[in-house]
Every structure is written in C-alpha cells, then in structure tokens.
Amino acid sequence: MTTEPSRTPERQAFYDSIAPANLAPLWEQLHDLVTPVPAPRALPAVWRYRDVRPFLMRSGGLISAQEATRRVLMLMNPGLGGQASITGSLFAGLQLIMPGEVAPAHRHTQSALRFVIEGHGAYTAVDGERTLMAPGDFVITPSWTWHDHGNDSAAPMVWLDGLDIQIVNLLNASFAEGYSEDIQPVARPEGDSLARYGGNLLPVDWQPSGKTSPVFNYPYARTRESLAALARNGPPEVYHGYKLRYVNPATGEFAMPTIATFVQLLPAGFASQPYRSTDGTVFVCVEGSGETRVGDVTLAWEPHDIFVVPSWAAHTHHTAAESVLFSFSDRAMQEKLGLWREARGNA
Ligand SMILES: [Fe+2]
C-alpha cells in the first residue's frame, strides 16, 4: 500500500467544503482502513488472579448480585481506551456470586460462555435445566435463552464470562429482557442435556433448534481425561501441545456460533514454536505455570490467571510445569466469513 497523499492548501479547502455535505476523501484514510496486515489496537496483557481476587471480593461487600444484576469486574484491554472489551470483538469479565445469592433470570441475544475459576456447587440454569459448576467447567448460555445463576454453596463462586457483545453491537442486533421472576422454574433434572447430547449419542429424530451446542456444560473432569490420554499416547504438536476444540455434537462445528473455545495441555518444559492467527485469543491458566511471549512482552501465568494475545501477534508458550490452558476467540465467526488465517513459524 502507498502512503497517504500530501495535504495541500487547495486539497484541504476542498475537504472542508465537502464536509458539510457528509462527504470525505477516502485517499486520506485508505491506509488506516485497509491495512496490509491486521493492526489491532488491543495489547497483550495479563490479569494475575492473586492481584484481581481482592478487588473482586471487595466488590462482594459493595453491591449485591441482585442489585448489580451481574456482579462482574470487566477485563479492560489497556489498548482499547476504556472500551468494555478484552479484544476488539470480545468481552471478558470475572463474575462473583456470594453464598446464598441469586443473579436474576434474563435473556439477551449476546451469547455467553462461563469458565469456572473458583468454588464448587453454584448453578447456572439455562432454559429450565440447572447445572452445578466446578473449576474448569465450560458452560454456555446460548443467544436468547433464559438464564440465572445461584450459589447454594458455603463459599464464593467466581467464573470468567466471555461474550460476543462487540460483535452483536457492531451489527446493532442487541435485544435483552428480564424474566418475570428472579429464578426460572426447573423443568428438567440436572445432567439431562449431557445425557441426551454429550455421550457421542443423540436422541433419534432430534433436530437442532439453534446454532449453539445443546450440551451446555462441558465438565472439566471429562476434558482433563481426554487431555491426559492424548499426552500418554504420543508427542505434542509443536505449536499447540495437545490442543482440542470444544464442539457442537450435532454439527461438529464450534460449540458456539460466534465464539470458538479450546483447551490444551502443554508438557512440563515445553516451548512452543511461533504461531499467530487472526483471532485475538483470551487464555485462562487452569493448571501449571509458565509464560507466553508476544513480541517483546512476556506474560507470566499461574492457575486462574487470564491473558490475551491480540490478532496476528506471533507468540510462544513456555512451561515450568505441565500446564492446561483454556482459551476462546472469535475464530468461529471468522471461519464462517472466510476471514480466518494462521501462520506457523517465523514466516
Ligand atoms: Fe446474561
């Protein structure tokens, strides 16, 4: 691409004369609008849970889940100037529910994922079914489904929320409404969805009614078992270690229509080869410890830490101990639009 043409007094006078007519010269902005490679404003960043947790617990004494609707501290990417986003397209936040609290039922067109960080036994209810959550569980609330959260356990419960808020707002397709009561009625027993759709079986004659996986809790115990088996059965892939993607069993596609989710195991002492892709990615350390190098920036992580690698930023992972990373990005949407790209190695 060429650089922008010089701005002569004559040209400037012309630009000034057309501005009141809601016109502007493309040639002044072309290089910013159509970049030769992705130019994200988002920066690589890490949120250390040991630093964030005290703030989160203080918020627990400041406002109730009921009053807040959702008591969430948003993870604000330092490159995005106060925009409620962790990447250009995705929202991330840490949600706290104290013992005995309820986050009242509502629904919205934004899709949400929950990745459980701390606590056992709080529930998320989606369309009449409750699932009890444990650390490492990946839980989905699909677009426009009623959902509420409650904590009947004796300890605080914390999870990471990931939503496609910026995507839905870009398209001006946001709808939201509250349910008539705080807690929606329970219509099916716990585990019903997993039994129906999550056992490599599907009910005969069943047809998907939406674009999101009918499995709404992918329990960590199962995920971890798969990772352990892969690690026993062969060498790690050089860019990703042992990496799996969560799928919609009805289609084989990503579990959510806009957001792709992954989990990977990296052996102790592993150093991955440089890798980049067009989907800015949010990682959560589930187990182990290590660091991720993004250009000149080193992001050190241990369990419950959250870090972000922007679009097209080459990065490598380095582990001190055997580690498990959960991650999510907008790759599901980019693939549908034919936009997703990756580059392996230093090319
Ligand atoms: Fe919600």
Interval between CA 204 and ligand 1 midpoint (Å): 31
Tell me the pLDDT tens digit for each residue of 155-189: 999 999 999 999 999 999 999 999 999 999 999 99
CA–centroid distance, residue 327 to ligand 1 (Å)? 20
Both tokens assigned to 244: 């799996």
Residue-wise pLDDT for 110-124, tens only, equals: 999 999 999 998 999
Q: Which of 252, 219, 213 is nearest to 115 (CA)?
A: 219
| 3-class DSSP state of 231 | helix
The pTM of the full predicted model, rounded to 2 decimals, is 0.97
Mean pLDDT of 307-317: 98
Other C-beta atoms lying within 10 Å of the C-beta of residue 278: 18
Q: Give dist(CA 228, CA 209) in Å, integer.
A: 34
User: How far does residue 176's CA lie from ligand 1's centre (Å)?
Assistant: 9
Give 207 Cα–ligand 1 centroid separation in angstroms.
26
Average pLDDT on 87-91 reads 98
Note the pLDDT tens digit of each residue in 271-311: 999 999 999 999 999 999 999 999 999 999 999 999 999 99
- Cα–ligand 1 centroid distance for 143 (angstroms): 9
C-alpha 117 – ligand 1 centre gap (Å)? 18
Can you tell me which residue has the tokens 């892709």? Answer: 277
Per-residue pLDDT, 345? 92
pLDDT at 36 over 70: yes
Mean pLDDT computed over every residue of the chain: 96
Residue 347, pLDDT > 70, answer no
> What would the two tokens of residue 194 be?
């997993």
Residue 2 is predicted with a pLDDT of: 58
Task: Using the predicted structure, report yes or no on whether residue 1 has a pLDDT greater than 60.
Answer: no
**What average pLDDT does range 149-158 have in this prediction?**
96
Looking at residue 53, its pLDDT comes to 98
Confidence check: pLDDT of 333 > 70: yes
Distance 142 CA to ligand 1 centre (A): 10
Q: What distance in Å separates the CA atoms of residue 113 and residue 130, rounded to the nearest whole number? A: 15
> How large is the average pLDDT for residues 304-324?
98
Beta strand pairing call for 45-47 and 242-245: unpaired
Encode pLDDT of 41-87 as tens digits: 999 999 999 999 999 999 999 999 999 999 999 999 999 999 999 99
Ligand 1 centre distance from Cα of residue 148 (Å): 8
Closest CA to 154 of 100, 113, 106: 100
pLDDT tens, position by position, 201-231: 999 999 998 999 999 999 999 999 999 999 9
- For position 249, what pLDDT does the model report? 96
